[in-house]
Structure 1
Amino acid sequence: MFFKRMIDNPDIAKLLLRLSLGGLMLFHGVHKVMHGIGFIQQAVAGANLPQWLGYGIYVGEVLAPLLLLFGYFTRPAALLEVIVMVMAVILVHPGELLSLDTHGGYALELQFLYLFGSLALFFLGAGRYSMSGGRGLWD
Structure 2
Amino acid sequence: MAYFSKAYNYKDLGLLIGRIGLGGMMIFHGLPKLMGGPEKWEALGGSMQSLGITFLPTFWGFMAGFAEGIGGLLIVLGLLFRPAAILIILTLIVAAASHFAGGDGWKGAAHAIETGLAFFVLFFVGPGKYSVDKR
TM-score (norm 2): 0.78
Residue 77 of structure 1 is matched in structure 2 by 84
Q: Distance in 2 between matches of 1:84 and 1:119?
A: 12
CA-to-partner distance for each residue in 1:19-64, whole Å, 9 max, x for gaps?
1110001111122134433421333367423222221113211111
Which structure is higher in helix share?
A: 2
Cα distance in 1 for partners of 2:47, 2:112 equals 17
Deviation at 1:17? 1.6
Among the aligned pairs, what percent are the same residue?
26
Q: Which amino acid aligns with 1:49?
A: F
CA offsets, 1:78-115, max 9 Å, x none? Answer: 111110000111234432234xxxxxxx3322211210
Match of 1:107 in 2: 108
Q: Write the mapping of 1:1-139 to structure 2, written as runs, cut at 5 A.
A: 5=6, 7-8=7-8, 9-35=10-36, 36-44=40-48, 47=52, 48-51=54-57, 52-94=59-101, 95-98=103-106, 106-133=107-134
SS in 1 for 2:108: coil
Distance in 2 of aligned mates of 1:41 and 1:81: 15
Q: Which amino acid aligns with 1:41?
A: G
Stretches of structure 2 lacking an aligned partner (at least 5 in a row): none
Q: Secondary structure at the match of 1:131?
A: coil
Q: CA deviation at 1:132?
A: 2.2
TM-score, with length taken from structure 1: 0.76
Q: How well do the aligned residues superpose, as a CA RMSD in angstroms?
A: 2.4
Matched pairs, number: 126
The answer on whether the counterparts of 2:92 and 2:116 sit within 8 Å (CA) in structure 1 is: yes
